[in-house]
Amino acid sequence: MRWITPEIEREMIAIRHDLHRHPELSWQEYRTADKVCQTLNNHGVTYTEGIAGVGVVADIPGKVNGPVIALRADMDALPVQEDTGLSFASENPGVMHACGHDGHTSILLGVAMALADAPEPPPLPIRLLFQPAEEVATGAKAMIREGTIKDVRMIFGAHLDCNHPVGKVVVNEGVVSASRDVFRIKVTGRGGHAARPQEAIDAIKIGIHIAQELQQLTSGAMTASNPAVVSVGCFQAGTAPNVIAETAVLEGTIYAQDQAERLRLNEAIRETAQTIAQQHNGIVSMEMEEGIPAIENKPEIVQLARETARSSLGKDSIVDTPVTNMGAEDFSCFLEHTEGVYVRIGSWNMAANIAPAHSSQFDFDEGALAVGAEYLTSLAIAAGKWVQERGF
Ligand SMILES: [Zn+2]
Ligand SMILES: [Zn+2]
């Protein structure tokens, strides 16, 4: 380790325990933001708080006052009741850091400490973005609206990954996370007596038919190179066993790795719902929430990130794993405005059970904190040099 001293590592672990014990849901990260500010204060790093509500942005000046290299961490927890038995388990009922964002926040604070202690400033200014509300996919957009990446030339984000051991990182080219769009379909029929369905238009029947057809939309198009998923997660209808439902509401999510496929599915869902409703004399209306795009890692910046991993973590530190992640991550919103790369930091804990992210028993190996901070510090410095060498 060049940047992360044992003292910094100890402080990162203590911060992680504190954040884990006091998790906060999206847009409610007040205590978390306070902890971030306190730590930055203690280490003499300047910052702005209250960005988009609870976001915090720290700025480390560079040798020259050029374009900015940014690193981003998310701070929110999930509505999950923790069941890990950890000594620092959540004290906030029904809320848990089940995705490792407590780790991400600690890692970025470790970077802040390392840069604050550095013998000389980085080649270009480094900005640390502590972002709220990643899990609901609105935090990144809000941080962007507040102008936090206007002067950013390059940005990096990282997620802990319990599929790989500590010391390894995943730095892949191309699409590494899917786009995500949420849809809501309201079916309106005509209510009536359950004994005389011929007098009514059954919204449940129409809704079931639509839900079944939506599953078919991706089955034909799904290939290894172009995966996409349409899932209906909510179906609400009906008021009584002897009343035919007048309305039914279906809500679901589209995940796609390819932008053309994303648009095709958007359109196909609308058409499918309309056609089926018409066939049964019903009416549908459809709403789409403003979604988030896929993350696409650019080859030349991936090369920089890979070289940096080899020099800072060791030449065998990169895992070559095929890209199959169908989850979405709102880091993609930053990449609509600037260049960057999203990496994964190995955090597999051999001793613990390997509970998946978002589960009540999720945990990770805290050795990943020092590795993640070491890597991101090196990456921000290397990126500054890289940008400088190529001219601004
Ligand atoms: Zn998550
Ligand atoms: Zn996450």
Which pLDDT score, from 0 to 100, does residue 50 have?
Answer: 98
Tokens matching residue 213: 């057809």
Q: Is 320 a catalytic residue?
A: no
CA of residue 295 to ligand 2 center, whole Å: 14
Q: Quick one: DSSP state of residue 355?
A: P
CA of residue 194 to ligand 2 center, whole Å: 46
Cα–Cα distance for residue pair 303/390, rounded to 1 Å: 15
What would the pLDDT profile of 52-70 be if each residue is shown by its tens digit? 999 999 999 999 999 999 9
- Does residue 90 surpass a pLDDT of 90? yes
H/E element holding 341? Answer: strand 339-348
| Distance of alpha carbon 63 from the chain centroid | 32
Confidence of residue 384 (pLDDT cuts 50, 70, 90): very high
3-state DSSP assignment of residue 303 = helix
CA of residue 390 to ligand 2 center, whole Å: 33
Comparing CA positions, the residue from 290, 364, 359, 292 lying closest to residue 103 is: 364
Which residues make beta-bridge pairs with 249?
186, 236
Cα–Cα distance for residue pair 79/227, rounded to 1 Å: 28
Domain ranges of the chain: 6-177+294-389, 179-288
Instruction: Give the number of whichever ligand sits closest to the CA of residue 159.
Output: 2
- Does residue 220 surpass a pLDDT of 90? no
- Does residue 386 surpass a pLDDT of 70? yes
Which pLDDT score, from 0 to 100, does residue 286 have?
Answer: 97
Q: How far apart are the first and last CA of the chain?
A: 30
Decide: 74 and 337 in contact? Cβ < 8 Å: no
Report residues near ion ligand 1: CB below 5 Å: 99
> With b meaning 16 or more CB within 10 Å and e meaning fewer, what string describes 205-224?
bbbbbbbeebeebbeebeee
Task: Check 9, 24, 74, 76 and give the catalytic one.
Answer: 76
Alpha-carbon distances of 62 from 68, 80, 92, 133, 199, rounded to whole Å: 9, 41, 40, 29, 74
Confidence of residue 212 (pLDDT cuts 50, 70, 90): very high
* Alpha helix (H) residue ranges in 150-298: 203-219, 259-279
Comparing CA positions, the residue from 80, 88, 128, 127 lying closest to residue 105 is: 128
CA of residue 135 to ligand 2 center, whole Å: 7
| CATH class of the domain comprising 179-288 | alpha beta
- Does residue 22 surpass a pLDDT of 70? yes
What would the pLDDT profile of 177-201 be if each residue is shown by its tens digit? 999 999 999 999 999 999 999 999 9
Alpha-carbon distances of 17 from 21, 161, 182, 260, 383, rounded to whole Å: 6, 18, 34, 43, 31
Cα–Cα distance for residue pair 170/323, rounded to 1 Å: 10
What would the pLDDT profile of 93-147 be if each residue is shown by its tens digit? 999 999 999 999 999 999 999 999 999 999 999 999 999 999 999 999 999 999 9
Cα–Cα distance for residue pair 123/130, rounded to 1 Å: 22
Decide: 169 and 375 in contact? Cβ < 8 Å: yes
Which are the contacts of 279, defined by CB distance < 8 A and separation ≥ 6? none
**22-48 average pLDDT score:** 98
Which are the contacts of 42, defined by CB distance < 8 A and separation ≥ 6? none
Instruction: Give the number of whichever ligand sits closest to the CA of residue 78.
Output: 1
- Does residue 222 surpass a pLDDT of 60? no
Strand duo 339-348 + 179-188: pairing: unpaired
| Distance of alpha carbon 232 from the chain centroid | 21
Q: Is 76 a catalytic residue?
A: yes
3-state DSSP assignment of residue 62 = coil
Task: Check 134, 135, 329, 374 and give the catalytic one.
Answer: 134
Cα–Cα distance for residue pair 89/84, rounded to 1 Å: 7
Which pLDDT score, from 0 to 100, does residue 359 have?
Answer: 94
Which pLDDT score, from 0 to 100, does residue 1 have?
Answer: 82
What would the pLDDT profile of 317-345 be if each residue is shown by its tens digit? 999 887 668 899 999 999 999 999 999 99
Q: Above pLDDT 90, what percent of the chain?
A: 92
**253-273 average pLDDT score:** 94
Cα–Cα distance for residue pair 90/139, rounded to 1 Å: 23
Packing angle, helices 367-389 and 299-313, rounded to 10: 130
- Does residue 352 surpass a pLDDT of 70? no
- Does residue 355 surpass a pLDDT of 90? no
- Does residue 223 surpass a pLDDT of 70? no
Which of the following CATH numbers is that of domain 6-177+294-389: 3.40.50.2030, 3.40.190.10, 1.10.760.10, 3.40.630.10?
A: 3.40.630.10
Give CB contacts under 8 A, 24+ apart, made by 316-319.
Answer: 317/167, 317/168, 317/169, 318/168, 318/169, 318/170, 318/171, 319/164, 319/168, 319/169, 319/170, 319/346
Confidence of residue 391 (pLDDT cuts 50, 70, 90): confident
Average of per-residue pLDDT values in the chain: 95
CA of residue 375 to ligand 2 center, whole Å: 19
CA of residue 48 to ligand 1 center, whole Å: 26
